[in-house]
Amino acid sequence: MSVPGGPVRHLLPLLKDVLPACLRRWAGLALLAWCGGALAQVGTAPAPYKLRVVGGLAGVNQYLQHEEPFWTQQLARLSEGRYSADIVPFDRAGVPGAEMLRLMQLGVLPFGTVLMSALAGQYPQYAAADLPGMGADMAGVRAAAAAFRPYLERDLRQRHGVELLAIYAYPAQVLFCKKPLAKLTDLAGRRVRVSSVGQADFVGALGALPVHTAFAQIMHSLESGDTECAITGTLSGHTLGLYRVTQYLYTLPITWGLAIFAANQAAWNALPPDLRVLLQRELPQLERTIWAAAERDTADGVACNSGAPQCGLQRKGRMVALQPSAQDVQKSREIFEGVILPRWLQRCSVDCAAVWNQTIGPVRNMRVPAAR
């Protein structure tokens, strides 16, 4: 028996090499889930059609309130019971974020959510819409993502055999610090948790020492003294309890934590046609819901970390929430133009100058010199 994209026997050995033990059985079931059509063709009634999905970060609102309910509850309701899905967050499953795209390209994981920051090292071009310091508000990152989307869809399909189905956003990624922080230059000399090479460039330009730390390890890193500040989402940081170990929240968005939801193209094409139609109709709505929630969660995170009256959660911090000055907004733009963008262009193995000038450049009213 074979599955779209190649025989099962050719893909299963990959599980041993690229997946931890906790996910091997789950991914093997994902491959077998593709076989319903083949079973029907040989006259055997297929089992109920259930998708296997790898979701985003565990424990945060995007996953708990949106991704997980969509796949485990809403899909069955929308399809009147014809289809269902299991989902597991990638960091709970033990899948390195940087491996997600490769595993989908191989067909080992048919459907998954991939953090753009995790792709910034190997595929810098895919991080273009969320470069640090580029946009200080949700409207700016929305416009950048919309301008970049056609290129992203085309390149993922042609280069990796992966179909882009949605782009998600997390709350604004801001600074949580133990010591007073009145302006960006106060970061000089501090060890700062970052999640991407772009964030590392940003804090490095301010004289800070970037420390790459997984989301689930942020609390331990701060408690142990390995880091003094952390860049993460406003509400995501509250979920982790960072208000218990940090006192200052600097609310300038450094990035917005964009992610893509995508599918192995062969797996996508092998879906029953009515299921593809359903997902093409419903995933854009899920995307809009997640973006709206990211904007609300940004404000809620600031309110709840600082204990403001508008916080609707039981757990409230007492952090000092600091609004960025006009000087720091300008400083962020200068770092973007003078450090982030040039280094991003240098890291790219494709012609990122052309990519930028054809997509986000016109939106930002900023062209870059063509590659030589």
pLDDT in tens, 239-294: 999 999 999 999 999 999 999 999 999 999 999 999 999 999 999 999 999 999 99
> pLDDT tens across 87-112, in order?
999 998 888 888 999 999 999 999 99
Nearest CA to 248 out of 332, 347, 180, 345 is that of 180
Strand order, beta sheet including 209-212: 209-212, 191-194, 229-233, 173-177, 248-255, 320-322
Contact 109, 263 (CB under 8 A): no
Report whether pLDDT(45) > 90. no
Instruction: Give the whole-angstrom CA distance, residue 172 versus residue 254.
Output: 7
Report whether pLDDT(44) > 60. no
Contact 212, 198 (CB under 8 A): no
The token pair at 34 is 């593709």
Report whether pLDDT(224) > 60. yes
Nearest CA to 273 out of 66, 108, 128, 79 is that of 79
> pLDDT tens across 282-311, in order?
999 999 999 999 999 999 999 999 999 999
> Among the listed ranges 25-34, 157-166, 296-305, which one has the minimum average pLDDT value?
25-34
Report whether pLDDT(36) > 50. no
> pLDDT tens across 228-240, in order?
999 999 999 999 9
Instruction: Give the whole-angstrom CA distance, residue 18 versus residue 21.
Output: 10
Q: What is residue 93's predicted lDDT score, i.e. its pLDDT?
A: 85
Q: What is residue 190's predicted lDDT score, i.e. its pLDDT?
A: 98
Q: What is residue 10's predicted lDDT score, i.e. its pLDDT?
A: 42
Contact 332, 199 (CB under 8 A): no
Instruction: Please identify which residue in the block is written with the tokens 């998708």.
Output: 51
Query: For the residues 43-67, what does the mean pLDDT come to?
Result: 83
Q: What is residue 121's predicted lDDT score, i.e. its pLDDT?
A: 87
Listed in sequence order, the residues at least 6 apart from 163 whose beta carbon sits closer than 8 Å to its beta carbon are 156, 157, 262, 263, 264, 265, 268
Residue 108 has what DSSP assignment?
Answer: S
Range ranked top by mean pLDDT from 115-119, 316-320, 346-350? 316-320
